[in-house]
């Protein structure tokens, strides 16, 4: 399913389709994103907000209402002119040349993750089989690649330029033997072409065991003890992750995944956690003043969503969307028996609510704000890294220059003696306690000329008188040398402390950027895939690592550090997918283990409390809310709007 035929981009809950645009499948990720961004710049769609040329006026903001077709080419558009408050003033029909984007709908950085998510191979780019079947995309390669690659059983094979290739039943490539007169003459051994060394990583399904492979551990089996049915675990995680990520936008206090799962399976009709979740989503839809708001306005409803009327708003929403068999449960909800609905129905309604919220202007403006803030943070982080690198290079250059200058100056100095300490005035201390002056001022210990013995004896007497003074001077100068050494040691110690402080400051700064970027989350991406295309998810607010099968029908999770270690030991770095997955797990390993440890402690405390409740006397019956398993019944929305 080549991406050069049709690229699927998922933006929140909407899907944007690009018909064949003639982009080569052998482009790099950067070039492919640039090409698609340029094509999107030319493409207009319903709901897009642009600037248009109005009669006898400058550019005015407008919104596309309808695409008008003229033959086979779409050249005109029905638009609504907007005022400063984004209210429609009038409508008009304009040409494509009169419409200009306010800003590019998608940038290269926003397209890259969607391309990675929608494809499982690059060079050439290939979409997932699931997407091809769902949107009826051809699996045949384009004309420009038919002679270079071919697809068999979902695997892309590159054709050799010189030798043709055969595909065996097992899917392995086997080279054909070269036949010729020269090969027949030289013998059977020369017939066989030498295999080229494999450059890893390659596609995981093509990796074969090697003699240099380490001992891989057996992959642990994930736990599957979910309380909700297996086919709706994905909806459970999606709704909870959205409510947790955008809790401030929804004015909804965060809650754990286990609390949400228990609340969904509870048969009570007015569980506060469920009521507040629905009310927050419905309240945001009502504030958006879109189709849902118009439909509610036609009916006599209270302006405020409360514990008593939230089901009425929910029934209105189910009637408006008219999706699947949800409308058949409206009567049950109106009677006040929402808790009796199946978990699939509850999560299905919540899933549609989240999808509608994602299409509102309020949610899109918030996402755009997050995108801008993330770009500013990334630019600041990159700028600080460049500045730090520049300062480091300048410091190294100055250090190298000072060392070079010191070497040049040292060539002109004369060495007087080995291991002789140098004093502040440039003199050296000799081994006999005398001070050896600079060159040209050397004293002899004894006079060799006999005629000068008398003079030497007088000098000896004078030297005895002044000996004490010289010794005192020598001792004082030696103390100065020791003081200089101590001072240098203190300076080095201070420099080390400053360097350690700067290093800790850099680490704190890096952690600050990572923390702030994570706060502006757009959507949660999987950590990666294994050789069988199973996806691995990690949600920072739960701790467990979830495993999703390739067909999304089976889910499981790992909940302890030992299982994570076994998983990492089972990943083969020779495969493209497992190498990338291992890299991501290593990146978040410490945080995953920390969250799992915290979860284990909470679970141990909960078990201890449950045992304490069970040990109570049968004469004193414990209230249901005292049981830790029913902690979700005590949920209170502290961020609720007044």
Strands 535-538 and 545-548: antiparallel
**Averaged confidence pLDDT in the chain:** 74
Which residue matches tokens 């939230």?
310
The fraction of the chain above a pLDDT of 90, given in percent, is: 21
Considering only CA atoms, which of 158, 162, 163 is closest in space to residue 175? 163
Q: What is the mean pLDDT of residues 199-207?
A: 89
Spatial CB neighbours of 384, under 8 Å, sequence gap ≥ 6: 509
State the pLDDT at residue 348. Answer: 93
57 against 3, higher pLDDT? 57
604 against 19, higher pLDDT? 604
478: pLDDT strictly greater than 60: no
For 186-207, letters b (16+ CB in 10 Å) and e give eeeeeeeeeeeeeeebeebebb
Q: What is the C-alpha to C-alpha distance for residues 605 and 594, in angstroms, rounded to an integer?
A: 17
The pLDDT tens digits of the residues spanning 282-303 come to: 988 888 766 666 666 667 666 7
Q: 538: which 2 tokens? A: 């990690």
Spatial CB neighbours of 422, under 8 Å, sequence gap ≥ 6: 428, 481
Decide: helix, strand or coil at residue 178: coil
Q: 509: which 2 tokens? A: 């700064």
Choice among 6-20, 261-275, 483-497, 589-603 with the minimum mean pLDDT: 6-20
What's the predicted TM-score (pTM) here?
A: 0.57
Choice among 75-89, 100-114, 130-144, 268-282 with the minimum mean pLDDT: 130-144
Q: 183: which 2 tokens? A: 């090969």
87: pLDDT strictly greater than 70: yes
Beta strands per DSSP E along 432-554: 435-436, 528-529, 535-538, 545-548
State the pLDDT at residue 194. Answer: 52
- φ and ψ at residue 280, rounded to 5 degrees: -65, -45
State the pLDDT at residue 227. Answer: 93
Q: What is the C-alpha to C-alpha distance for residues 558 and 601, in angstroms, rounded to an integer?
A: 16
Maximum mean pLDDT: which of 64-68, 178-182, 572-576: 572-576
Task: Check if the beta carbon of residue 635 is closer than 8 Å to that of residue 276.
Answer: yes
């Amino acid at each position: 399913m080549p991406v050069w035929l049709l690229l699927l981009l998922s933006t929140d809950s909407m899907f944007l389709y690009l018909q064949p645009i003639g982009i080569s499948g052998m482009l790099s990720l950067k070039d492919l994103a640039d090409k698609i961004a340029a094509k999107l710049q030319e493409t207009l769609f319903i709901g897009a907000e642009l600037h248009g040329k109005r009669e006898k006026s400058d550019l005015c903001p407008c919104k596309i209402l309808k695409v008008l077709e003229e033959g086979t080419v779409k050249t005109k558009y029905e638009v609504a002119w907007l005022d400063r408050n984004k209210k429609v003033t009038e409508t008009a029909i304009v040409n494509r040349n009169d419409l200009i984007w306010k800003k590019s709908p998608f940038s290269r950085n926003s397209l890259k993750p969607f391309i990675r998510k929608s494809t499982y191979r690059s060079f050439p780019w290939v979409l997932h089989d699931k997407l091809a079947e769902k949107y009826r995309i051809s699996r045949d390669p384009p004309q420009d690649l038919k002679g270079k690659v071919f697809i068999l059983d979902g695997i892309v094979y590159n054709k050799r330029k010189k030798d043709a290739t055969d595909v065996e039943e097992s899917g392995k490539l086997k080279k054909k033997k070269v036949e010729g007169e020269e090969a027949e003459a030289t013998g059977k051994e020369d017939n066989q072409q030498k295999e080229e060394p494999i450059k890893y990583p390659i596609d995981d399904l093509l990796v074969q065991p090697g003699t240099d492979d380490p001992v891989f551990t057996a992959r642990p089996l994930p736990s599957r003890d979910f309380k909700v049915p297996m086919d709706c675990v994905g909806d459970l995680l999606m709704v909870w992750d959205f409510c947790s990520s955008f809790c401030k936008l929804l004015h909804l206090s965060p809650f754990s995944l286990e609390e949400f799962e228990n609340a969904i399976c509870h048969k009570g009709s007015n569980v506060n956690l469920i009521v507040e979740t629905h009310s927050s989503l419905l309240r945001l839809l009502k504030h958006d003043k879109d189709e849902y708001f118009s439909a509610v306005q036609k009916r006599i409803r209270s302006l405020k969503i409360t514990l008593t009327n939230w089901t009425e708003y929910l029934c209105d929403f189910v009637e408006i969307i008219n999706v699947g068999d949800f409308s058949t449960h409206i009567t049950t909800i109106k009677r006040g028996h929402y808790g009796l609905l199946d978990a699939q129905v509850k999560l299905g309604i919540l899933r549609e609510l989240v999808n509608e919220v994602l299409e509102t202007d309020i949610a899109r403006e918030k996402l755009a704000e997050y995108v801008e803030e993330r770009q500013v943070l990334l630019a600041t982080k990159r700028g600080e890294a460049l500045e730090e690198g520049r300062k480091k290079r300048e410091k190294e250059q100055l250090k190298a220059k000072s060392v070079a200058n010191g070497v040049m100056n040292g060539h002109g100095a004369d060495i007087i003696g080995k291991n002789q300490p140098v004093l502040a005035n440039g003199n050296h201390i000799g081994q006999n306690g005398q001070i050896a002056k600079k060159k040209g001022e050397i004293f002899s210990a004894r006079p060799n000329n006999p005629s000068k013995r008398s003079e030497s004896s007088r000098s000896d007497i004078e030297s005895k008188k002044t000996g004490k003074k010289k010794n005192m001077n020598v001792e004082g100068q030696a103390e100065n040398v020791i003081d200089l050494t101590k001072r240098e040691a203190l300076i080095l110690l201070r420099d080390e402390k400053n360097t350690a402080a700067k290093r800790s400051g850099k680490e704190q700064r890096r952690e600050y950027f990572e923390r702030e970027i994570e706060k502006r989350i757009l959507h949660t991406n999987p950590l990666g895939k294994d050789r069988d295309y199973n996806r691995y998810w990690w949600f920072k607010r739960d701790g467990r690592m979830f495993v999703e099968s390739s067909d999304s029908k089976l889910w499981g999770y790992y909940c302890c550090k030992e299982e994570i270690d076994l998983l990492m030991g089972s990943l083969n770095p020779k495969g493209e997918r497992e190498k990338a997955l291992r890299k991501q797990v290593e990146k978040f390993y410490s945080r995953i283990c920390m969250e799992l440890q915290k979860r284990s402690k909470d679970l141990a405390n909960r078990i201890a409390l449950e045992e304490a409740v069970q040990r109570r006397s049968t004469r004193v019956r414990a209230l249901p809310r005292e049981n830790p398993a029913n902690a979700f019944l005590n949920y209170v929305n502290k961020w609720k709007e007044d």
